[in-house]
Amino acid sequence: MSSRQLLPSWKKLVSHAQEMKSQHMNDLFSTDKNRYEKFSIELPNMLLDYSKNLINSETKQSLLQLAKECDLEAWREKMFNGEKINKTEDRAVLHSALRGSVDEQLTVDGENIHQQVNQQLDKMSAFVGKVRQGHWLGYSGKRITNIVNIGVGGSNLGPQMVTEALKQYSDDCVKVHYVSNVDGAQIADILRPLEPEKVLFIVSSKTFTTTETMTNAKTAINWLTAASFDDKAVAKHFVAVTANPVNAMSFGIQEDNIFDMWDWVGGRFSLWSAIGLAIALDLGFDKFKQLLAGAKAMDKHFRDAPLENNMPVIMALVSVWNTTFLGAKSQAILPYDQTLHMLAAYLQQAEMESNGKSVTWDGEEIDYPTVPSIWGELGINGQHAFYQYLHQSNNIVPADFIGSVASVTPVKGHHETLMANFFAQTQALMTGVDEQQVREDLRAKGRTADYINKVAPHKVHKGNRPTNTLLLKRIDPHNLGQLIALYEQKIFVQGIILQICSFDQWGVELGKGLAANIQQELESHKLSNNHDCSTRQLMNYYLAAQ
């Protein structure tokens, strides 16, 4: 049993969950007219309504008590003060420093963090200016028109998600592409229409060892040198972002063309560093700074606001409540804003790679549910695909609905339809419709008794399905920064409450190691005897069928 389960608040929440499971949110709303005021938080440019969860004031108090008993506030300060809270890797966790949220004097291992960050921001700014103003020229003297970011996981999802979300803010000075998959189909497709002399590659890899990224980067180098007939062209067409400059240089990237990142930035939290270079090239450096400013505003709120009115804290506690205490297994991310079409994929990595673990930071087995699996899709598309499941399956899936008051691309009549659905869905998921109502509605439509008996059970919606609603004024660089930082800090809080080391990812190593061995075996056609018979036969089939 983990020490968390011995906390008075934890024990209270376990028994309170049993009581709450027999409640319906409809009753909670009808007996408390101030429910919205009690369970919502408004910040400049962003509103969180969490009233449509199976909670009451006692739930909230007990969850806040849990946060206190877990020393959340002290942990938060440890993070911002650069203590090595990534225990298994002995690293500080300072992605917030990338947006200027830490003390200017803060040092880690003798290095001033603020200075390191500013130095790289200056280097980025100068580089972005050169490329966008046409002063950075390719091997044939032509300006750069296309940027190809090669990277995977945190070196891809954050920058690509943001690039997509802020498309309307791009002046198309350069066109940005992302290559993440080692399936050659992706890079081949992207390179096909491009002119090598006008392309700049960014090889983004914290470790500079990731096989998929290295393979894509080699292909890109070959593509360039085949066209330029000159190895020196690499210096004009390749930059790297990495915490491993030695590897980047031995790969062939010129020292001046390397942007630093640091071991105190986790890959999945790195879009604020030079890993976000493609964003800055696309939007210009001022808008990149606005993104950082939005995240900084959220950091400030997270650090200063009382726990009961603290958006990341409340979102984390509600998630822990739904998952650990009420037993939800998954969580849907449902943006009602086309610009956020990659948000679910991004949050999958952010939350699942951070907290998808089953031992505590002290290595003890965890026997309570930790984080849900995260999945999602644009809300409207989901409505016509999987919402059936959200409304009527016997699995309860808590969902975050994310929408904007104003569309960045207004088209007459569209936004109202979109938002009407946005509001309708959370209401429907909460209220449902009971059999009596279904029968009355069918009778009012003149349906026969036989028809009503047959169809009524199928039309019942039990409701009581938890949702959070996040309503942003609009998607712009600042507000997007705020939104992403909200989820980042939520993930941190979840980790503290669940006693999980959120900043390592050992679970990705086993498969990586096996793949490296298997690749050698496939290339040499010599299979080792170490495989189970299923894997061995699959490999045999693959080799024989080639």
What residues line the site for ligand F6P (CB under 6 A)?
152-155, 205-207, 210, 213, 267-268, 353, 505, 508
Q: Containing H/E element for 19?
A: helix 8-21
Query: In 434-455, which positions are buried (b, 16+ CB within 10 angstroms) versus exposed (e)?
Result: eeeebbeebeeeebeeeebeee
Burial class (CB in 10 A: 0-12, 13-18, 19+), 154: buried
- Measured from the CB atom, is 314 or 352 closer to ligand F6P? 352
Question: How far from 92 is each of 79, 86, 261, 352, CA to CA, in Å?
Answer: 7, 6, 13, 20
Which CB sits closer to ligand F6P, 95 or 198?
95
Nearer to ligand F6P, 370 or 467 (CB): 370
Q: 4 vs 357, which CB is nearer to ligand F6P?
A: 357
Residues 6+ apart with CB under 8 A from 521: 527, 528, 539
Q: What is d(CA 224, CA 429) in angstroms, rounded to the nearest whole number?
A: 53
CB atoms within 10 A of CB 510: 9
Asked if residue 482 lies in contact with residue 298, where contact means CB atoms within 8 angstroms, the answer is yes
Calculated CA dihedral for residues 151, 157, 162, 168, nearest 10 degrees? 80
Going from the C-alpha of 498 to that of each of 301, 384, 491, 493, the distances in angstroms are 22, 35, 10, 9
Residues known to be catalytic: 353, 384, 512
Closest residue by Cα to residue 349 from 104, 509, 77, 154: 154
Least separation in angstroms between residue 36's CB and ligand F6P is 38
- Cα 494–Cα 351–Cα 367 angle in degrees, nearest 5: 55
Per the CB < 8 A criterion, the answer to whether 174 and 144 are in contact is yes
Nearest to 92 by CA among 72, 78, 110, 102: 78
The answer to whether residues 370 and 5 touch, using CB atoms and an 8 Å cutoff, is: no
| Structural contact between residues 120 and 260, judged by C-beta atoms closer than 8 angstroms | yes
Q: Toward ligand F6P, which CB reaches closer, 197 or 353?
A: 353
User: What does the block give as tokens for 266?
Assistant: 């986790």
Give the CA dihedral 389, 393, 397, 399, nearest 10 degrees. Answer: 40
Residue 250's CB: how many other CB atoms inside 10 A?
A: 10
Q: Closest distance between ligand F6P and the C-beta of residue 277, in Å?
A: 13
- Pick 50 or 264: Cβ nearer ligand F6P: 264
103: nearest Cα among 120, 115, 86: 115
Closest to ligand F6P by CB, 180 vs 404, is 180
User: Closest separation between CB of residue 509 and ligand F6P, Å?
Assistant: 8
Cβ distance to ligand F6P smaller for residue 203 or 334: 203
Tokens of 319: 């998630």
CB of 361 to ligand F6P, least distance (A): 18
Both structure tokens of 284: 């210009």
Q: Minimum distance from CB of 205 to ligand F6P (Å)? A: 3
Closer residue to ligand F6P (CB): 206 or 391: 206
Query: Residue 150: which H helix or E strand, with range?
Result: strand 146-150
Give the shortest CB-238-to-ligand F6P separation in angstroms.
Answer: 16
| Least distance CB 516 / ligand F6P (angstroms) | 13
Q: Least CB distance from residue 268 to ligand F6P, whole Å?
A: 5
Minimum Å distance from CB 421 to ligand F6P? 34
